Chain A
Amino acid sequence: MPRLEETFAALRAQGRAGLVTYVTAGDPDLDRSAQVILALDRAGADVLEVGVPFSDPVADGPVIERAAERARAAGGTLATTLDLVARVRPAVRAPIVLFTYVNPVLAMGEGRFAARARAAGADAVLALDLPLEEAGLFRRTMASAGLDLVFLLSPTTTDERIARAADLGSGFLYAISRLGVTGARDAVPPAARALVERIRRRTSLPVALGFGLSRPDHVRQVGRFADAAVVGSALVSVIAEAAASPELIPRVEQFVRRLREPGDGRTEAP
Chain B
Amino acid sequence: MFVKICGITRLEDALLSADLGASAVGFVFAPDSPRAIAPEQARAIVEHLPACVSAIGVFVDAPVGQVREIAAFAGLSAVQLHGRETPADAASAGLRVVKAVPATREALDGLGAWPVSVTLLADAMDGARRGGTGRAADWAVAREMARCRPLLLAGGLTPDTVAQAIREVRPAGVDVSSGVELAPGIKDAAALRRFFEAVGRESSEGLPAFGRRDPDERGYFGAYGGRFVPETLVAPVEQLEQAYLEARRDPAFATELSALFAGYVGRPTPLSEASRLSAAFGGARVFLKREDLTHTGAHKINNALGQALLARRMGKTRVIAETGAGQHGVAAATACALLGLRCEVYMGAEDMRRQAPNVARMRWLGATVRRVDGGSRTLKDAINEAMRDWVARVDDTYYLLGSALGPHPYPLMVREFQSVIGAEARRQVLAQAGRLPDAVVACVGGGSNAIGIFDGFLDDAGVRLVGVEAGGVALDPGRHAARFAAGSPGVLQGTRTYILQDADGNIEPTHSVSAGMDYAAVGPEHAWLRESGRTEYRLASDQEARAAFEELARLEGILPALESAHAVAGARRVAREAGPGGVVIVNLSGRGDKDMDTMGEGLTDAAS
Q: Is B189's CB within 8 Å of the partner chain A? A: no
The answer to whether B235 and A157 have CB atoms under 8 Å apart is yes
- Chain A residues, CB < 8 A from B501: 103, 107
The answer to whether B505 and A104 have CB atoms under 8 Å apart is yes
- Chain A residues, CB < 8 A from B394: 156, 179
How big is chain A's contact interface, by range?
35 or more
Q: Is B506's CB within 8 Å of the partner chain A? A: yes
* Interface set of B (CB-CB < 8 Å, partner A): 218, 226-236, 374-375, 380, 384, 387-388, 391-395, 489-494, 499, 501, 503-507
Decide yes or no: A133 and B218 within 8 Å by CB, A65-B374, A180-B392 being known contacts: yes
**Max chain A Cβ within 10 angstroms of own Cβ: one of B228, B387, B394, B503:** B228
**Max chain A Cβ within 10 angstroms of own Cβ: one of B226, B236, B493, B505:** B505
Closest 4 A/B residue pairs (Cβ) = A107-B505, A104-B505, A180-B392, A77-B504
- Chain A residues, CB < 8 A from B387: 58
Task: Kindly provide the distance from the CB of B483 to the nearest chain A CB, expressed in whole angstroms.
Answer: 14
The answer to whether B506 and A58 have CB atoms under 8 Å apart is no
- Chain B residues, CB < 8 A from A61: 388
- Chain A residues, CB < 8 A from B234: 131, 133, 154, 156-157, 161
The answer to whether A103 and B492 have CB atoms under 8 Å apart is yes
- Binary CB contact string for chain A from 70 to 105 against chain B (1 if under 8 A, 0 otherwise): 001000011100000000000000000000001111
Q: Nearest B residue to A78 by beta-carbon distance?
A: B504
Decide yes or no: A59 and B391 within 8 Å by CB, A106-B491, A106-B505, A133-B218 being known contacts: yes
A120 CA to B499 CA, complexed, in Å: 29
Q: Is A55's CB within 8 Å of the partner chain B? A: yes
Q: Which of A59, A65, A107, A176 has a CB less than 8 Å from the CB of B504?
A: A107
Residue pairs across A and B with Cβ atoms less than 8 A apart, 10 shown, are: A57-B384, A58-B384, A59-B230, A78-B504, A79-B504, A131-B227, A134-B227, A134-B228, A179-B391, A180-B232
The answer to whether B504 and A129 have CB atoms under 8 Å apart is no
- Chain A residues, CB < 8 A from B499: 103
Task: Kindly provide the distance from the CB of A93 to the nearest chain B CB, expressed in whole angstroms.
Answer: 29
Q: Is A8's CB within 8 Å of the partner chain B? A: no
The answer to whether A107 and B388 have CB atoms under 8 Å apart is no
A261 CA to B231 CA, complexed, in Å: 32
**Max chain B Cβ within 10 angstroms of own Cβ: one of A72, A129, A133, A161:** A129
Q: Which of B231, B236, B505 has a CB less than 8 Å from the CB of A151?
A: B231
- Chain B residues, CB < 8 A from A62: 374
A130 CA to B504 CA, complexed, in Å: 18
- Chain A residues, CB < 8 A from B228: 102, 129-131, 134
- Chain A residues, CB < 8 A from B493: 56, 58
- Chain A residues, CB < 8 A from B505: 54, 78, 103-108
Q: Nearest A residue to B374 by beta-carbon distance?
A: A65
Decide yes or no: A103 and B231 within 8 Å by CB, A55-B507, A77-B504, A181-B388 being known contacts: no
- Chain A residues, CB < 8 A from B235: 154, 156-158
Q: Is A45's CB within 8 Å of the partner chain B? A: no
- Chain B residues, CB < 8 A from A107: 490, 501, 503-505
The answer to whether B230 and A156 have CB atoms under 8 Å apart is no
- Chain B residues, CB < 8 A from A131: 227-231, 234
The answer to whether B227 and A133 have CB atoms under 8 Å apart is yes
The answer to whether A56 and B230 have CB atoms under 8 Å apart is no
A58 CA to B387 CA, complexed, in Å: 7
Q: Is A128's CB within 8 Å of the partner chain B? A: yes
Task: Kindly provide the distance from the CB of A16 to the nearest chain B CB, expressed in whole angstroms.
Answer: 27
Decide yes or no: A55 and B230 within 8 Å by CB, A108-B505, A158-B235 being known contacts: no
